Amino acid sequence: MPATTENNQGSFLGRISIRRNQVMSMDHDSELEDLELFQKHVSDRFSDLLSSTIEDPSYEPLLSIAWLRKLLDEFLCCEAEFKAVLLMGRDPSQISKPPLDKLIPEFLERTVKALDLCNAVTLGIDAVKNLQRLAEIAVSSLEEAQIGDGQVRRAKKALSSLVTAMLHEDKDGGNAKGTERNRSFGRRGANNSAANNKGNFRSLSWNMARNWSAAKQIHAMSSNLYAPRGGESTGLAMPVYIMSSVLVFVMWTLVAAIPCQERNGLGTHSPFPRQLAWAQPMIGLQEKIAEEWKKKEKKGSVGLLEEMQKMDKVGQSLIDFAESFQFPAEAERLEEVKGYVEELAEICRKMEEGLEPLQQQIREVFHRVVRSRAEFLLVLEQAGKLSAPPM
């Protein structure tokens, strides 16, 4: 993560730790200051993510692999500060009183759904890696000094498999017969040769339950998400609402970008109150992503990941070349194809460098959420024991 982000987080966490380790109790003004600072940090982080979507070659494009990695970094920072605000040095009985006695269990339910979504997205990245391998076959075929019928047929076969795999998942809608869906390509085995077995790449399959739906998980996470009102808006209910909103937004974004099982209706995103300053950049990002999703639904493709969108476009152009290819090809036509092949090779390079670290980050998010959930459950258990009548 950027050095300034690290410094801000370290300063914030250290400030809370020092003050709450003091013997004196924390006054109301200090509590409000912590809450305001947490909101400011959330706003700053998502403002940074929003500003990076500007049409500028120095920024990583929205929903690119690099942008998603930055999103996950910011999520982990927000999660650490949220936990510090709510738990660090605090009497367990404080989070077992209304309204937190209801809000915390609801938040923990959202985290369970988020864990399922992390698993689904991790499988989705396996699928994207296989699309990358198909593209690499086409690149290796068309990079040769002399392009003949054999090279073009090999490239066309791989590219047709790639495009079919992208389109099939949307048409299938994530539904399949049987009680379980097994991944048709998620392993690096001998049977994983894309050029020799097009059928293996007809759909992006999962080992999730047949009726599992990423879109329904997202909608369930946001169904009872309401902003605190009145006096609750300046208390501990607000950071719970903020972190719930961040969690829903991050999961929604990952599912929009990476192929996941059953995403129909995902374009309907959760509205955040526009009057809340920290929510403004998140709303801006939601609107941009929802706009891209509408375009996707019209043309049909496997996900909004920037690299996949480019791969789809370049792949279609190369298929058009392959279908009209006659040996020997015109020099001008070969030069045009060379540009497409170089572009596809660059996309593959970015995927090769970025997909594995992205997958590792999602696993880190998964384990962080598991640990934090366990910490909250422990504090709730301690609070229950403190409030229990003596035997």
Which are the contacts of 363, defined by CB distance < 8 A and separation ≥ 6? 118, 122
The full DSSP string for 176-231 is -SSSB---SS-S--GGG-TTT-GGGGSS---SSBTT--HHHHHHHHHTT-----GG
Cα separation, 12 vs 10, in Å, equals 5
What pLDDT, on the 0 to 100 scale, is given for residue 389? 65
pTM over 0.75: yes
Burial of residue 295 (CB within 10 Å: 0-12, 13-18, 19+) is exposed
- Phi, psi (rounded to 5 degrees) for 63: 70, 15
Torsion of CA 327, 330, 335, 338, to 10 degrees: -10
Per-residue confidence at 386, pLDDT binned at 50, 70, 90?
Answer: confident
pLDDT digits (tens, 9 = 90+) for 205-225: 446 778 899 999 999 999 899
Whether residue 201 has pLDDT greater than 60: no
Better-scored residue on pLDDT, 2 or 44: 44
Can you read off the two tokens belonging to residue 35? 């809450």
Residue 204 reports pLDDT greater than 70: no
Describe the chain by its helix, strand, coil percentages, rounded to 5: 70, 0, 30
Query: By C-alpha distance, which of 147, 163, 171 is closest to 198?
Result: 163
Length of the chain: 391
> What pLDDT does 3 receive?
54
Structure tokens at 234: 């300046």
Angle at 19 between CA 17 and CA 22, to 5 degrees: 105
The rounded distance, in Å, linking the Cα atoms of 31 and 84 is 12
Task: Please give the Cα distance from 374 to 162 (Å, whole number).
Answer: 41
Angle between helices 306-323 and 149-172 (to 10 degrees): 130
100-152 per-position pLDDT tens digit: 999 999 999 999 999 999 999 999 999 999 999 999 999 999 998 788 899 99
| Reported confidence tier of residue 276, pLDDT bands at 50, 70, 90 | very high
pLDDT of the residue at 166: 84
Q: What is the pLDDT of residues 4-31, one digit of tens each?
A: 555 556 566 766 665 555 544 456 678 8
When pLDDT is cut at 50, 70 and 90, the band that residue 333 belongs to is: confident
Rg of the chain taking only CA atoms, in angstroms: 24
Lowest mean pLDDT among 49-58, 143-152, 281-290: 49-58
Confidence of residue 203 (pLDDT cuts 50, 70, 90): very low
DSSP-derived letter for residue 345 is H
Asked whether the CA dihedral 345, 349, 355, 361 is positive or negative, the reply is negative
pLDDT for 60-112, tens place per residue? 899 999 999 999 999 999 999 999 999 988 888 888 899 999 999 999 999 99
Q: Please tell me the least confidently modeled range out of 112-121, 195-204, 236-245.
A: 195-204
Return the domain boundaries, the chain: 3-20+32-387
Q: Give the pLDDT confidence score for residue 175 in this predicted structure.
A: 38
Tell me: the pLDDT tens digits for 253-265? 999 999 988 888 7
What is the CA angle 120-354-67, rounded to 5? 80
Q: Give residue 171's pLDDT.
A: 45
For the stretch 35-50, pLDDT in tens is 999 999 999 999 999 9
Contact 297, 251 (CB under 8 A): no
